[in-house]
Amino acid sequence: MYRDLNGFYERRESPRKPEKKPPRLTPGQQKLLMWALGLELLLLFLAPVGGVSIVSAFLYIAR
């Protein structure tokens, strides 16, 4: 009633590969990343103010 496949579907363990560590940032890359994040945070607060002033300037010109 059942067919013997001689372990055809048996799971075989694959050889383990050594885990690679994620690459580290160099000090120059860390400094650049901090400058980019600082600029992003600065623009997070300044961009809405600049957008509102542009809209108000267009409304003033449209009058």
Eight-class DSSP state of 40: H
Structural domain spans, the chain: 25-63
Instruction: List, for residues 2-56, the tens digit of each pLDDT value.
Output: 777 776 776 666 667 778 888 899 999 999 999 999 999 998 888 887 778 877 8
| Cα atoms found within 13 Å of the Cα of residue 41, Cβ hemisphere only | 6
Asked if 33 and 25 count as a contact pair (C-beta separation under 8 A), the reply is yes
Eight-class DSSP state of 54: H
Distance between CA atoms of residues 10 and 28, nearest Å: 51
Provide the whole-model pTM: 0.50
Between the alpha carbon of residue 37 and those of residues 19, 22, 43, 44, 63, the distances in Å are 30, 21, 10, 10, 40
* Whole-number pLDDT of residue 14: 64
